């Protein structure tokens, strides 16, 4: 997955609505962090992967967010894991753009640790955990490759929506053009811009918060979802 980072175009209104302002790092702190990275390089690399993944885990744990806005049921472990991998893929692409293979590997090692923890919670036999982790790795790789291919296309939004429908929603014909598929695609495109713009020092330390969803502007009331059958969507009806 060595594709260049693709940034989806968004409006200024969307930027204000979705993206948190990122704090500036004082010069003395930046110098201290650089010295620390030099003295404790190996530990720092491993720590970077864990810190990056720690920013995603609250989203993975937010079952209400996934169920209400993206139609991923609380008992849909597969869909929840794909939601996790979607965020990891965005971080992965940013690290590819930075040509930082070591941090990228440490990020996926941290993901493997999460896989093992999930399997333990599901009471999977210890004798089978390693084989399950390898299977989950291959599945995640397939999803990431599918998203890479989508973002390399000229009409990447439509291609991404198709792949999200096929993988996350199991290619269910009833949900092919469902609002949840469109909303998750919009979330992916907006979040890709956010990840592309995170300053490198804040990225490596996990000192950022992912964009809010549904999008709303500070100081104004949140957008009310429109109804499409029994499903919610934040796309305006045409």
Q: Average the pLDDT over 180-194 and give the result.
A: 92
Distance between CA atoms of residues 138 and 142, nearest Å: 6
Q: Average the pLDDT over 106-117 and give the result.
A: 91
Q: What is the pLDDT of residue 152?
A: 84
Is residue 104 very low, low, confident or very high in pLDDT (cuts 50, 70, 90)?
A: very high
Average pLDDT for the chain: 78
Q: Percent of the chain, pLDDT > 90?
A: 39
> Is the predicted pLDDT of residue 145 greater than 80, yes or no?
yes
Q: What is the pLDDT of residue 56?
A: 92
Is residue 127 very low, low, confident or very high in pLDDT (cuts 50, 70, 90)?
A: confident
Comparison of pLDDT for 229 and 79, the residue scoring more: 79
Is residue 126 very low, low, confident or very high in pLDDT (cuts 50, 70, 90)?
A: confident
Residue 57 tokens read as 């885990």
Q: Which of 99-103, 180-184, 220-224 has the lowest mean pLDDT?
A: 220-224
Comparison of pLDDT for 203 and 37, the residue scoring more: 203
Q: Average the pLDDT over 199-226 and give the result.
A: 68
> Is the predicted pLDDT of residue 228 greater than 80, yes or no?
no
Q: Average the pLDDT over 120-129 and give the result.
A: 84
Q: Average the pLDDT over 195-207 and give the result.
A: 90
Q: What is the pLDDT of residue 13?
A: 52
Comparison of pLDDT for 70 and 14, the residue scoring more: 70
Is residue 155 very low, low, confident or very high in pLDDT (cuts 50, 70, 90)?
A: confident
Q: Average the pLDDT over 102-122 and give the result.
A: 90
Distance between CA atoms of residues 218 and 120, nearest Å: 41
pLDDT tens, 17-27? Answer: 444 455 566 67
Domain boundaries, the chain: 43-205
């Amino acid at each position: 997955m060595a594709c260049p980072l693709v940034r989806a175009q968004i409006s200024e209104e969307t930027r204000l609505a979705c993206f948190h302002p990122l704090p500036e790092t004082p010069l003395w702190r930046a110098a201290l962090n650089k010295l620390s990275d030099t003295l404790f390089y190996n530990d720092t690399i491993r720590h970077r992967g864990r810190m990056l993944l720690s920013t995603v885990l609250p989203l993975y744990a937010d079952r209400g967010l996934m169920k209400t806005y993206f139609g991923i049921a609380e008992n849909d472990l597969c869909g929840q894991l794909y939601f996790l991998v979607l965020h990891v893929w965005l971080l992965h692409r940013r690290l590819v753009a930075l040509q930082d293979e070591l941090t990228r590997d440490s990020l996926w090692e941290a993901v493997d640790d999460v896989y093992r923890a999930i399997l333990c919670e599901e009471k999977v036999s210890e004798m089978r955990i390693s084989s399950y982790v390898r299977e989950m790795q291959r599945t995640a790789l397939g999803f990431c490759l599918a998203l890479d291919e989508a973002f390399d296309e000229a009409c990447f939004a439509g291609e991404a929506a198709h792949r999200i429908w096929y993988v996350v929603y199991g290619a269910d014909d009833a949900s092919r053009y469902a609002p949840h598929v469109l909303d998750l695609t919009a979330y992916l495109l907006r979040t890709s811009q956010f990840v592309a713009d995170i300053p490198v020092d804040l990225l490596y330390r996990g000192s950022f918060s992912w964009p809010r969803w549904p999008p709303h502007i500070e100081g104004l009331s949140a957008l009310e979802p429109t109804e499409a059958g029994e499903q919610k969507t934040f796309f305006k009806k045409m």
